[in-house]
C-alpha cells in the first residue's frame, strides 16, 4: 500500500527535483552574466528526468572511505548532468550567457515547477478523498 502511494507521487517528486536543479543552473547563468569566459549551461529536462525515473528513484553513490576520494555524486547529481549551451551570439570576452534567453528559460522553468507542485497537490487531494470515503 505504502509503495503504491510512493509510486503515485514518485514521478512528480523526481520532476520537481530536476526542475529545482535546472533552476539552480539557470540562476548561475544569470548571476555570471558579466563574468569573462563563463560558459552558460543547461539541463536537458526530458532526458535527465527519464534517466532518473529509469534508474530507480535515487542514484546510488559510491561509498568513500577517505575524504580524499572523489565522490561519484557531488551533492546534487542532477546539476552534474548539465551540458554547455551553444551560443548564438558569443561575446568578445568569451562569455556565452544570452541574458534574454536565460531569463525566458528561468521564467519558463519556474512556471513548470509551479505546475508540477499543482499536480502533486491535486494527487494528494485525490488520495485524501479516497482515504476519507
Among 49, 79, 98, 105, binds other proteins (CB under 8 A): 79
Contacts 24+ apart (CB under 8 A), 113-118: 113/16, 113/19, 113/20, 113/23, 116/12, 116/15, 116/16, 116/19, 117/16
Does 36 help bind other proteins (rule: CB under 8 A)?
A: yes
Rounded CA separation 47/38 (Å): 25
Least distance in angstroms from the C-beta of 38 to other proteins: 6
Span near other proteins by CB under 8 A; candidates 25-33, 50-58, 59-67: 25-33
Please answer whether residues 42 and 20 qualify as being in contact, where contact means their C-beta atoms are separated by less than 8 angstroms: no
Q: Which of residues 43-72 bind other proteins (CB under 8 A)?
A: none
Which grid coordinates are listed for 24? 539552480
Binding residues for other proteins, per CB under 8 A?
16-17, 20-21, 23-25, 27-28, 30-36, 38, 41, 74-76, 78-80, 82, 99, 103, 106-107, 110, 113-114, 117, 120-121, 124-125
Amino acid at each position: 500500500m505504502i509503495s503504491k502511494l510512493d509510486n503515485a507521487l514518485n514521478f512528480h517528486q523526481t520532476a520537481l527535483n530536476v526542475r529545482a536543479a535546472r533552476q539552480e543552473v539557470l540562476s548561475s547563468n544569470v548571476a555570471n552574466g558579466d563574468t569573462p569566459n563563463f560558459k552558460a549551461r543547461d539541463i536537458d529536462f526530458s532526458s535527465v528526468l527519464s534517466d532518473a525515473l529509469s534508474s530507480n528513484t535515487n542514484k546510488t553513490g559510491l561509498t568513500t572511505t577517505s575524504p580524499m576520494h572523489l565522490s561519484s555524486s557531488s551533492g546534487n547529481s542532477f546539476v552534474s548532468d548539465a551540458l554547455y549551451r551553444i551560443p548564438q551570439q558569443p561575446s568578445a570576452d568569451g562569455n556565452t550567457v544570452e541574458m534574454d534567453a536565460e531569463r525566458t528559460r528561468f521564467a519558463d522553468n519556474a512556471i513548470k515547477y509551479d505546475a508540477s507542485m499543482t499536480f502533486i497537490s491535486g494527487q494528494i487531494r485525490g488520495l485524501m478523498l479516497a482515504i476519507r470515503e
